[in-house]
């Protein structure tokens, strides 16, 4: 029985390691990769976030499921990557919804992967413990960003409609607006939203510690 459990854990570890590190993901993203790297360099941890990550006491494995060209991926993924890099006990891997999703199926065998990808608003961060049990899920963005995003979408109500319009003109306009939104989000996160993102993610990790302590007691 122990041998079978070890093989299962090894399979999940191999599935996790088949996903890309943040640096590897950036390397295959071309111009988007350079923007992701820039966003990572711009991200600064608050003292409380730095302390929370450096003193975090549990081993965790985080898988980010992302849409490559999505503005939220460019805005949020580097902030979370920068945060997790401050910890010696938490690892991050990145999996694109446009790529091979087999690792996700292995890591979360009870998940209907294709339906989940259709339903989720990406990016989503799946948090596994050291025994590869799914403990929490977070995404696509901190709650404080919702107001900014809603105001932007009110200014450009055609944005969501353009995504489903396959005409050349519509797709060109969609790319223009996506680029504009990406740079607008950069301003938001460089002002205060990166701090909100760090705080919300750290608070989620803290609840996992609280749950473990309550379970032990």
- pTM for the predicted model, two decimal places: 0.90
Question: Containing domain of residue 179, as a range?
Answer: 2-216
Helix (H) or strand (E) holding 104: helix 102-107
Q: What's the CATH code of the domain at 79?
A: 3.40.30.10
- Close Cβ partners of 191 (under 8 Å, ≥ 6 residues apart): none
**Summary count for the chain: helices (H), strands (E):** 11, 4
Please give the pLDDT value at position 74: 94
In whole angstroms, give the CA distance from residue 63 to residue 65.
Answer: 6
Tally of domains in the chain = 1
What is the tens place of the pLDDT at every residue in 124-148?
A: 999 999 999 999 999 999 999 999 9
Please give the pLDDT value at position 209: 85
What is the tens place of the pLDDT at every residue in 171-181?
A: 999 999 999 99
What is the tens place of the pLDDT at every residue in 148-158?
A: 999 999 999 99
Please give the pLDDT value at position 4: 41
Please give the pLDDT value at position 216: 53
Tokens of 206: 């803290």
pLDDT at 194 over 50: yes
pLDDT at 2 over 50: no
What is the tens place of the pLDDT at every residue in 66-97?
A: 999 899 999 999 999 999 999 999 999 999 99
pLDDT at 215 over 70: no
In whole angstroms, give the CA distance from residue 197 to residue 65.
Answer: 17
pLDDT at 14 over 50: yes
Percent of the chain with pLDDT over 90: 85
Q: Helix, strand, coil % (nearest 5) of the chain?
A: 65, 10, 25
pLDDT at 21 over 60: yes
Phi, psi dihedral angles at 179 (to 5 degrees): -65, -45
Give first-to-last CA distance, the chain, whole Å. 28
């Amino acid at each position: 029985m122990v041998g079978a459990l070890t093989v299962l854990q090894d399979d999940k570890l191999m599935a996790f390691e088949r996903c890309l590190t943040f640096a590897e993901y950036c390397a295959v993203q071309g111009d988007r990769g350079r923007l992701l790297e820039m966003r990572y360099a711009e991200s600064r941890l608050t003292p409380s976030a730095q302390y929370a990550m450096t003193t975090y006491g549990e081993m965790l494995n985080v898988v980010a499921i992302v849409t490559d060209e999505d503005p939220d991926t460019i805005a949020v993924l580097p902030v979370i990557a920068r945060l997790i890099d401050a910890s010696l006990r938490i690892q991050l891997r990145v999996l694109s919804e446009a790529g091979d999703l087999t690792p996700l199926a292995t890591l979360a065998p009870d998940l209907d992967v294709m339906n989940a990808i259709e339903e989720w608003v990406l990016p989503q961060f799946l948090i596994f413990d050291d025994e590869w049990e799914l403990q929490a899920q977070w995404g696509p963005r901190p709650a404080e960003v919702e107001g900014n995003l809603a105001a932007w979408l009110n200014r450009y109500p055609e944005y969501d409609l353009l995504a489903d319009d396959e005409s050349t003109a519509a797709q060109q306009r969609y790319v223009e607006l996506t680029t504009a939104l990406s740079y607008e989000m950069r301003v938001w996160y460089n002002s205060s939203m990166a701090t909100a993102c760090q705080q919300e993610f750290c608070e989620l990790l803290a609840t996992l510690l609280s749950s473990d302590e309550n379970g032990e007691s």
